């Protein structure tokens, strides 16, 4: 797997949704050839990681069975792992999906529940020495946007992440394999999301890589009025701010466009540090 040199530049995680109900309307469903082709295109456009998800996590999304998630993701991972050299991430909260993905060429587990919903997923990740993305979520995709409330959103997210990180390390996950994600849009209002982005540098106190996912999300639509597939410019602004405030990985749909944003934002922010 690629040896990430966090701090030297920002890495791009390209999103490959293999679902019929992706919030952004880009879900590729039951078409392995097309999914592989799109992923290869993202790598050509500058993606450093491909993140494959077989269950929509948009607000209100209905859960899918383990069998269905396996059917959607594993054939793609199996084929794609033989055709690209960048790491493949599996976006799942299910241990059996993670196990099969890692067996077939994935090397990162991106779990929106912070490895908390399935007690066996930590052991699976540990067994493969996989990197893990520990994300903060308040509630579940079905309930998370039902009036989320915080006293101090950034402080409360940090406190929860601290618990998740410590639990993961106690269970055998190596600290160098942990990436954290404050979970933009997962149990947060517009104001919460803006505060997280504005105060993102505070998450650097964990001394762990920070992943941020703002791409096409509803807070951009609330600010601009743009529909999900027309939010590239709003996404670009949020990505640039995230990089300036310490993001190590940005998770995006539009890799080609965001590659330019990342290159320029990196040059500006890292030049300013010298």
Identify whether 251 is a catalytic site residue. Answer: yes
Q: Name the catalytic one among 94, 138, 160, 251.
A: 251
Domain boundaries, the chain: 11-272
CATH architecture observed for domain 11-272: Alpha-Beta Barrel (3.20)
- Report helix angle 32-45 to 66-80, nearest 10: 50
- Report the DSSP beta bridge partners of residue 17: 53
pTM surpassing 0.85? yes
Three-class DSSP labels, 17-65: ECCCCCCCCCCCCCCHHHHHHHHHHHHHHCCCEEEEECCCCCCCCCCCC
Name the pLDDT band for 25 (thresholds 50, 70, 90). very low
Is the pLDDT assigned to residue 67 strictly greater than 90? yes
Q: Name the catalytic one among 72, 99, 217, 231.
A: 217
Is the pLDDT assigned to residue 104 strictly greater than 70? yes
Is the pLDDT assigned to residue 231 strictly greater than 50? yes
What are 50-63's pLDDT values in tens digits?
Answer: 999 999 877 667 78
Phi, psi of 24 (to 5 degrees): -90, 0
pLDDT greater at residue 202 or residue 146 = 202
Q: Assess contact for 88 and 81: CB atoms under 8 A.
A: yes
């Amino acid at each position: 797997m690629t040896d990430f040199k966090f701090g030297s530049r920002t890495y791009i995680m390209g999103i490959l949704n293999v679902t019929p109900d992706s919030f952004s309307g880009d879900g590729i469903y039951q078409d392995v050839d097309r999914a592989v082709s799109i992923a290869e295109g993202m790598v050509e456009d500058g993606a450093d990681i491909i993140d494959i998800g077989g269950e929509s996590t948009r607000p209100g999304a209905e859960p899918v069975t383990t069998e269905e998630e396996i059917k959607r993701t594993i054939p793609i991972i199996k084929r794609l792992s033989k055709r690209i050299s960048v790491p493949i991430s599996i976006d799942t909260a299910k241990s059996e999906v993670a196990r099969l993905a890692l067996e077939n060429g994935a090397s990162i587990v991106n779990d929106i529940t912070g490895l908390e919903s399935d007690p066996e997923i930590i052991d699976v990740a540990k067994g493969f020495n996989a990197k893990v993305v520990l994300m903060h979520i308040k509630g579940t995709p079905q309930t998370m946007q039902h009036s989320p409330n915080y006293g101090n959103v950034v402080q409360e997210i940090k406190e929860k992440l601290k618990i998740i990180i410590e639990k993961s390390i106690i269970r055998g996950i190596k600290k160098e394999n942990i990436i954290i994600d404050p979970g933009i849009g997962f149990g947060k209002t517009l104001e919460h999301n803006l505060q997280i982005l504005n105060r993102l540098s505070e998450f650097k106190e964990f001394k762990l890589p920070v992943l941020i996912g703002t791409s096409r999300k509803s807070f951009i639509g609330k600010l601009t009025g743009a529909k999900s597939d027309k939010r590239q410019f709003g996404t670009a602004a949020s990505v640039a701010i995230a990089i300036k405030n310490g993001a190590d990985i940005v998770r995006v749909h539009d890799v080609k466009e965001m590659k330019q944003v990342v290159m320029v934002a990196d040059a500006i922010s890292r030049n300013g540090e010298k």
